Structure 1
Amino acid sequence: MTRICTICARGGSKGVKNKNLRQLLGKPLIAHSILQAKASGLFDVIAVSSDNDNILQIAEEHGVDYVIKRPKELATDTAAKLPVIQHCIEQVEQRSSLRFTTLVDIDATSPLRTVDDLRFAVLMFEKHDEATNLITATPSRRSPYFNLVEENKNGYVLLSKSLDTPLVRRQDAPKTYDMNASIYIWKREAFYDTPSVFTDKTILYVMPEERSHDIDSELDFEIVQFLAEKRGSLL
């Protein structure tokens, strides 16, 4: 079994300018994910993909095995992430002559995961023979069956999901989860046969809310910074 960890970090960001380079606990944001991947001891190769030379330089300084310069067409605001991961893996395989069986991607903007989260998620996935892929999430704060609403085409508000018997208590609702953009894992065959985040055999690794914040705004960064400083280390 051969594992790769990819970390895909675009230079441009509208919500938080240069967020992958922003300092968090005295290190650039992306450095924390690199150091977590290294500390896990799980990976044959750790690779960073970016269109930004400063990000790639930081990745090299923090000891990744490969830095992959992302082509412009994969670095736009509208570019999907799965083709970026695929490009990164293919470039590494060409340079290394390795063929990876377990593909792991961790998001630099969700740095509150722990090294044990990485280890447990990979172990959970590799013990599950039938699973095609794994995603991480946290129990949702709003339930689509109880207090998450949407507008219909007439502008009226209704619950996002309904049950035959209306609920009186949120605790009685089916369990739902918020994806936290932290860890994604695929079997190689599943990733290349049907590249998707969701299949009929996607499994879930659940993380607590305090390790599940993804940075997409200045407020998100402040929350992550507060929680990181409270922990004192992201390893």
Structure 2
Amino acid sequence: MSKVLCTICARGGSKGVKNKNIKEINGKPLIAYTIGQAKDSGLFEHIVISTDSDDIANIAKQYGAEVFFKRSAEIASDIAGKLDVIRDAFVRSEKYYNKQFDYLIDLDATAPLRNVDDIIKSFNQFLENNNDNLITAMPSRRSPYFNLVEVDSVGKVSLSKQLDNSIVRRQDAPKSYDMNASIYIWKRDSILNDKSLFLENTGLYVMPEERSIDIDTELDYKFVEFLMRENDVKR
């Protein structure tokens, strides 16, 4: 049986929504939803939290996650790259549990609308396609080939991506997707050695928009809470 590690990275500082990882939403702390989904998936022996906050650590433990280290200040700032944070948690976990994990699945605490099937199905797709890593996304609401524009240094406005033949309908543009920061999956070798999220063999698991909201602002928070109540997400 493959050894799969789950990491949930939750920094204490937050500019958009104060203390968002443990802010109560629909009756319980935000991070609790992701911990519960990880447990219900049945994929993991260990669900490890990477955090610099004692408050987050204590609440995560109450909901069944494991916290055996405190994230260093060097990778706890708002300019630290997420890939470095996830790799740090993976390396620490292998050392702490004295075992090698075959795969790593990172679940973002600020994307609580995913469901357990998303975790299981994305992992199965990853295995079936023998990807090195996998990201999740939703179909984009705007297309870089049709209605996403850029402004250059002299103020010239143009489409973000140009095609040889112009198109007059968005439906004729190549498919594009918005990353939803919900699920990330890696093979062991890739998380340890690759420096980019986008590899030659990166997989894409597509989720619907209604399960793809990543909480970054107060408006996101209110929208997610509304959807949870509408969909009768259990507390």
Give the TM interval when normalised to the shorter protein: over 0.9
Offset of residue 78 of structure 1 = 0.8
Instruction: Check the 8 A contact 2:57/2:67 in 1, yes or no.
Output: no
- Partners of 1:9 and 1:63 lie apart in 2 by 15
Instruction: Check the 8 A contact 1:51/1:71 in 2, yes or no.
Output: yes
- Partners of 1:177 and 1:204 lie apart in 2 by 9
Instruction: Check the 8 A contact 1:60/1:67 in 2, yes or no.
Output: no
Match of 1:207 in 2: 207
- Partners of 1:95 and 1:142 lie apart in 2 by 44
Instruction: Check the 8 A contact 1:112/1:210 in 2, yes or no.
Output: yes
Match of 2:70 in 1: 69
- Partners of 1:52 and 1:65 lie apart in 2 by 14
Percent identity, aligned pairs only? 54
Secondary structure at the aligned position of 2:8 is classed as strand
Instruction: Check the 8 A contact 1:59/1:67 in 2, yes or no.
Output: no
Match of 1:117 in 2: 118
- Partners of 1:193 and 1:84 lie apart in 2 by 14
> What is the TM-score when the length of structure 1 is the normalising length?
0.96
For 1:7-156, list aligned pairs within 5 A. Answer: 7-129=8-130, 131-156=131-156
Offset of residue 234 of structure 1 = 6.2
> What is the TM-score when the length of structure 2 is the normalising length?
0.96
- Partners of 1:47 and 1:25 lie apart in 2 by 24
- Partners of 1:118 and 1:227 lie apart in 2 by 19
Instruction: Check the 8 A contact 1:9/1:50 in 2, yes or no.
Output: yes
Q: Tell me if 1:227 matches 2:192.
A: no
Q: Tell me if 1:159 matches 2:159.
A: yes
CA deviation vs aligned residue, 1:137-196 (integer Å, no higher than 9, x gap): 000000000011110222021110111111011000000000000000001111212132
Secondary structure at the aligned position of 1:32 is classed as helix
Instruction: Check the 8 A contact 1:136/1:184 in 2, yes or no.
Output: yes
Kindly tell me the number of residue pairs found equivalent between the two proteins: 234
Offset of residue 206 of structure 1 = 0.1
CA RMSD, 1 decimal: 1.2
Secondary structure at the aligned position of 1:14 is classed as coil
Secondary structure at the aligned position of 2:183 is classed as strand
- Partners of 2:146 and 2:69 lie apart in 1 by 45
- Partners of 1:234 and 1:50 lie apart in 2 by 26
Following TM superposition, where does structure 1 have runs of at least 4 consecutive aligned residues deviating by more than 4 angstroms?
Answer: none
- Partners of 2:109 and 2:202 lie apart in 1 by 22
Offset of residue 67 of structure 1 = 3.9
Offset of residue 68 of structure 1 = 2.8
Unaligned runs of 5+ in 1: none
- Partners of 1:48 and 1:65 lie apart in 2 by 6
- Partners of 2:9 and 2:106 lie apart in 1 by 8
